[in-house]
Amino acid sequence: MKNGKTSVIGVLIATVILIVIIVVSNWGNEKMSFIQNGVSLITIPIQNAFAFVKDKINNNDQEISDIDSLKNENKELRDENTKLKEAERELEVLKSENNTLKDYLNLKNKYADYSTIPAYIVERTYSNYDKIVIINVGSKDGIDINMPVISESGLVGHVISVTENSAKVQTIIDTASTVSSTISTADESILVKGTISNNEQLKASSIPANATVLQGDAVVTSGLGGIYPKGILIGTIKEIVNTKNQTDRYANIQTATNFNTLQTVLVLTAK
């Protein structure tokens, strides 16, 4: 009996710990609104109680005289509410479709010089060490290996394998990815690689000793390497890490594409 109780307590503690860790680890910009929500959750009932007491004192509370009419009114309001909810759901579906179509249109306009095939990310890898995504277009749509994939914001990666209806895309944040790039303020090529630890950060190495690299500089593809066309935005320099040896210095790049929320992409094909 005691063991059973201990086991239940253990499971409860582990569940609470897991949820707390996940919530805390995913605190981002919403941190403040989360705190505000928590505070309002406590304060609003108290405020309501005060308001109720105040109304009572001022004799502002209304007498309930006709319960039947209120019941009818309540039923009508409930029906109306159900209809409104249905309409809202339909609107949400339309809004989502509209956003997807807008995304496709924006992307197509931005890369008008290339032939493009729009695609949707249908699966993401299960591994913490690989950053591969599966898109819903394949060889029957004209997709081939090594075709570059972009988002509205910038470079996503390239196709590494294709089936008839889907394709695997190795993203630029994968540790096996290396992209030849240039910094907007310099002509020299640098190498941009993915990292394990961060889904929104890349590491730029092989920065020439004489190159002036500044925080906020845009990093774009150099066109070297045969996969990516020249000039696709990769991200911006977030931090420059200087080492004793000037040739070993590297920079952290904030990716232009938000890989955590990425859903719509375009595959660039030869025109």
CA atoms within 13 A on the CB side of 36: 5
Binding-site member from 161, 215, 246, 247 for another protein (CB under 8 A): 161
Query: Does residue 29 touch another protein according to CB under 8 A?
Result: no
State the number of binding residues for another protein (CB under 8 A).
34
Sign of the dihedral defined by the CA atoms of residues 236, 241, 247, 248, in that order: negative
Residues 184 to 213 in contact with another protein, rule: CB under 8 A: 193, 195-199
Query: Does residue 238 touch another protein according to CB under 8 A?
Result: no
Q: How far is the CB of 203 from another protein (least distance, A)?
A: 8
Binding-site member from 29, 59, 128, 210 for another protein (CB under 8 A): 128
**What would the two tokens of residue 115 be?**
């032939």
Query: Does residue 126 touch another protein according to CB under 8 A?
Result: yes
Binding-site member from 25, 65, 69, 109 for another protein (CB under 8 A): 25
Tell me whether residue 158 is exposed, middle or buried, using C-beta atoms within 10 angstroms of its C-beta: 0 to 12, 13 to 18, 19 or more: buried
Binding-site member from 108, 110, 115, 168 for another protein (CB under 8 A): 168
**What would the two tokens of residue 75 be?**
């039923």
- Coil, helix or strand for 249? coil
Nearest residue (CB) to another protein, 2 versus 271: 2
Residue 253 and residue 201 in contact, taking contact as beta carbons nearer than 8 Å: yes
Binding-site member from 1, 5, 41, 129 for another protein (CB under 8 A): 129
Distances in Å between the Cα of 210 and the Cα atoms of 188, 203, 207 are 10, 19, 8
